[in-house]
Structure 1
Amino acid sequence: MSDKQVEMSIVEHLGELRRRIIYILAVLLLGLVIGLVCANPIYKYLISVDSAKDFQLHAFAFWDGIGMYMKIAMVVALVLTIPFTAYQVWAFVSPGLREIERKAALRYVPYVFILFLLGIAFGYYVVFPMALGFTTTITKNMGLTETYGISQYFNFMFTLVVPIALLFELPLIVMFLTKLRILNPRRLRKMRKVSYFALVFIAVVITPPDFISDFLVTIPLLLLYEFSVYLSSVVYRKQLAADEAIEARYKQAEDPE
């Protein structure tokens, strides 16, 4: 292959990557528009649930209301964009994969959306009320008057919920990499100490600066890792069984007697 042919191949590859990125940005923009349309009913729901009823939220800046709407719109856009992004990544790398790898990758795309929604639900209905209850209890015990701005309330919420939703993709990523034989349960168990340290570090970074928030995020992450190891072992056992079946067929073909 000549240098010109290689250069054309690289140019075409970069052009394909640019096209995929443009598609993703277009869907993200569309998601933002849809999110802005849905922002008001979503906001009314978020302030009507039990965890928000005890608070009278205030606007401390002229842009607080608009900023809150934009945050809600961004979450809606992420929900719509993440599965589409996963498909675009698959479409970009699939020409370099084997047929079995392409099918394995495509099979996981719908679960990206499902796990993200589960992560949002877990973060909002489990972690967020516990963190909110703990922080407000400490505030009351200190004799402080609670006066919360709408921006602080929703920043606290989204800082907890969105990272948890993204980290809920961990089991899917581990299963996919196991399917491609990049990871296996033995390697994951050997990496457990390092992985635990990394997950604790991530939990501390993405959560508000208080111990209870760190703790409430760290525990689910560690459980997610162990669940990922279990799923990896399930996939790995199936791979070993399939390899043994193929080897048995070869032996039978070589020695029909």
Structure 2
Amino acid sequence: MAEKAPKEMSFLDHLEELRWLLVRSTIAILVLASLSFFISDFIFEKILFGPKDPNFITYRFFCSISQSFGLEDVEICDAKMPFIIQNTSMGGQVSFLIWTCITAGFIIGFPYILWEVWKFISPALYAKEKKYAGAFVIVSSLLFFLGVLFGYFIITPLSVYFFGSFNASPEIVNEFNLESYTSMIKTSTIACGLLFELPIIIYFLTKMGLVSASFLRKYRKYALVIVLIVAAIITPPDVISQIIVTIPIMALYEISILISAVVGKKELMESTSK
């Protein structure tokens, strides 16, 4: 039978470890943010303002997919961005520069943050489970970066296209605040990155007995409805775009169910063998 780590930590010891986790992670993010400053022009022009370009790769991709299904008159093939981005506060651009670099530092440094998280939770794991530290960091990082790419190349441009081209009245001109525009991009990319951590989160929730495969199967249809509603809001008004957004998210949900079933079965076998 596997044994847990012999060292017992008090509540204050855990708080101290958590404090140093936050300190080291913050230092890593700030260092990477400082390095990101030297490529800030590329980050601004090619990444942040990339989805504003009508020739952005996502718009061309959706156009070609739609045309392959015989949909010739698709609005996204003639994407227009009739809006401007403006700064309305004295220190807006300075704040924009700082927080953009910090966001870049967080995304780049996410694997290190995961490693710190693993060191924090490892005392509560069995000795055989601690051997999977490398696998945990690698898999979690890959899922996060896949989510960031999905958020940036799928969710973000479709949201920019929808809100940028939407016009309730010809009398209204879209002039978006710099903070509003960049906040949407940052939120979409980081949120999708964290959303793609769902299989890892489900793994630990199942280990703690908080969720089960049967619970996830029971609420599968509700999850599908929510995803479809979100996809319908952020995508152009065609079924193909909605399906492309929905499939990866529901695939993650199904993978999470499978992981929960495997972990639950393993936990049951270990409990019966004791």
Relative to structure 1, is the Cα distance of residues 152 and 104 closer, same or farther in structure 2, using a 3 angstrom cutoff? same
Q: Choose the corresponding residue for 1:94, options 122, 142, 167.
A: 122
| Aligned pairs (5 A) from 1:39-118 | 39-46=40-47, 49=50, 51-52=52-53, 54=81, 56-118=84-146
Are residues 25 and 138 of structure 1, via their aligned partners in 2, closer, same or farther at CA, if it must alter by over 3 Å? closer
Gap change, CA 1:9 and 1:184, over 3 Å in 2: closer
Q: Give how far 1:9 is off.
A: 5.0
How far the C-alpha of 1:24 sits from its partner, in A, is: 1.6
The SS at the match of 1:99 is: coil
Helix, strand or coil at the partner of 1:147? strand
User: Quick one: distance in 2 between partners of 1:10 and 1:153?
Assistant: 42
CA contact (8 A) 2:212 2:264 kept: no
Gaps of 5+ in 1: 1-6, 205-210, 248-257
What's the secondary structure of 2:182's corresponding residue?
A: helix
Q: Which has the higher helix share?
A: 1
- Larger Rg: 1 or 2? 1
- Residues 1-257 of structure 1 aligned to structure 2 (within 5 Å): 11-46=12-47, 49=50, 51-52=52-53, 54=81, 56-139=84-167, 142-143=169-170, 144-178=172-206, 180=207, 182=209, 183-190=211-218, 192=220, 196=223, 200=226, 212-213=233-234, 219=246, 221-233=249-261, 235-236=262-263, 239=266
Number of aligned residue pairs: give it.
Answer: 226
More moved, 51-60 vs 151-160: 51-60
TM-score (norm: length of structure 2): 0.65
Q: After superposition, give the CA deviation of every residue in 1:205-226 in whole Å (9 maximum; x if it has no partner).
A: xxxxxx714997x946555323
- 2:154 is paired with a residue whose SS is helix
Give the alignment's Cα RMSD to 1 decimal.
3.9
8 Å CA contact retained: 1:34, 1:76: no
Partner of 1:207: none
Q: 1:66 to 1:192 in 2, by over 3 A?
A: same
Contact 2:51 2:156 in 1 (8 A): no
With over 3 angstroms needed to count, the CA separation of the structure-2 counterparts of 1:116 and 1:38, relative to structure 1, is farther
Q: Using structure 1 for the length normalisation, give the TM-score.
A: 0.69
